[in-house]
Amino acid sequence: MNLRIVGPTPLPPAVCEALARPMINHRGPEFAAMQARIVNSLKTYFQTAHEILLFTCSGTGGLEAAVVNLLSPGDTVVAVSIGVFGDRFAEIAELFGAQVHRLRFAWGSAADPDALRAKLDELANVRAVLITHNETSTATTNPLQELARAVHERSDALLVVDAISSLGAIHLPVDEWGVDVAVTGSQKVWMIPPGLAMLSVGPRAWEAYARAKMPRFYWDFKKMRDAMAKGQTAFTPGVNLYFGLDVALELMNAEGFENIRARHARVAQHTRDCAQAQGFELFANQAFASNTVTALKIPPGVDGKKWREVLRKEHDTVIAGGQKELTDKIVRIGHLGWVNEADIDACLHAMTAALVYVRAS
């Protein structure tokens, strides 16, 4: 199957084999050695010298963990949102009692750093700014470096970034840009199944942790840090996902970080070029086009659901639809992780064939 959604993504055979390995003691020496290798490699991709924590959960668990470990009820938070996942991050903080000020932008466009500056100037004592790096629902990548600069220039707020669908594929030097916590998820760029969230936690985040009063048990950063210092995890981890991640990181290290980023940029450009050449219209503002996902407008008069169904049944190809208000307006092609141009060619070819069929029927 050509699985072209934005995670889960296809798995390399070596990863599949690793996932099927017999269990080991998660409090034994083999696990400790494996976790050390994983953390060591992840630091390269996060471009951080600080702590990396892994939680057994989907990406959203990582976002919730960031919120409850850094904030107290009543804290002022600015949530920058350009789509579904930006809204979700805001909702989590709000649910746990933060005073959330949403800074929303039209779907398909990126956040404006000057608008963020203005928002920060208007509010006092902003404790944290939540930003989505790559908004998967609209296939748009925020200008995070400029947004980060705005945050640090106008406030002492923590910068917390949902990098779930970008980290490892799109440039994000966590330390250099002053990102206090960055979150990613295993089923996106990392070529392993869903079930792990990986977070970087910088020194300012640890200071905030010491003061933060939101309730937390499973997500407690310090519990996890202390356990990881002993080569363990706070609670039983998804051991086979670690097997997979260990091998996937080996593959990534062999390819090289620069090459991985260049491949994602190249395949994304190829997707956009070929989609347009085949008559499709791109959805997002192309100045901020994502390198991990591309959104295409559903051609007028076409039933998007039917189109995807024919694609799945007749062409063994699965793409994503739109979310929320974009449900009947766009389709999305994932090009992240284990992907090259040939996967995209096959996908677009099938999309065109399926479209001919849907229009004729």
Enumerate binding residues for ligand PLP (CB under 6 A): 6-7, 58-60, 85, 132, 134, 136, 162, 164-165, 185, 194
| Smallest gap from residue 195 Cβ to ligand PLP (A) | 9
Residue keyed to tokens 């090259």: 340
Sequence letter at residue 28? G
If the CB atoms of residues 161 and 212 are measured against ligand PLP, the closer one turns out to be: 161
Residue number, nearest CB to ligand PLP: 59
Strand residue runs (E) in 138-276: 140-141, 158-162, 181-185, 196-201
SS3 103: strand
| Smallest gap from residue 4 Cβ to ligand PLP (A) | 15
| Smallest gap from residue 8 Cβ to ligand PLP (A) | 9
Distances (CA, A) of 252 to 21, 243, 248, 339: 20, 14, 6, 12
If the CB atoms of residues 134 and 291 are measured against ligand PLP, the closer one turns out to be: 134
If the CB atoms of residues 7 and 168 are measured against ligand PLP, the closer one turns out to be: 7
Residue keyed to tokens 């991990």: 292
If the CB atoms of residues 113 and 193 are measured against ligand PLP, the closer one turns out to be: 193
| Smallest gap from residue 318 Cβ to ligand PLP (A) | 16
Q: How far apart are CA 233 and CA 118, in angstroms?
A: 42
| Smallest gap from residue 73 Cβ to ligand PLP (A) | 23
If the CB atoms of residues 205 and 293 are measured against ligand PLP, the closer one turns out to be: 293
Q: How far apart are CA 148 and CA 24, in angstroms?
A: 42
Q: What is the distance of C-alpha 119 from the center of its chain?
A: 25
If the CB atoms of residues 161 and 350 are measured against ligand PLP, the closer one turns out to be: 161
Q: Is the separation of the CB atoms in 183 and 198 below 8 Å?
A: yes
Contacts of residue 6, Cβ cutoff 8 Å, sequence gap at least 6: 136, 165, 188, 292, 293, 320, 332, 334, 336
Q: Which residues share a beta bridge with 282?
A: 296
| Smallest gap from residue 58 Cβ to ligand PLP (A) | 3
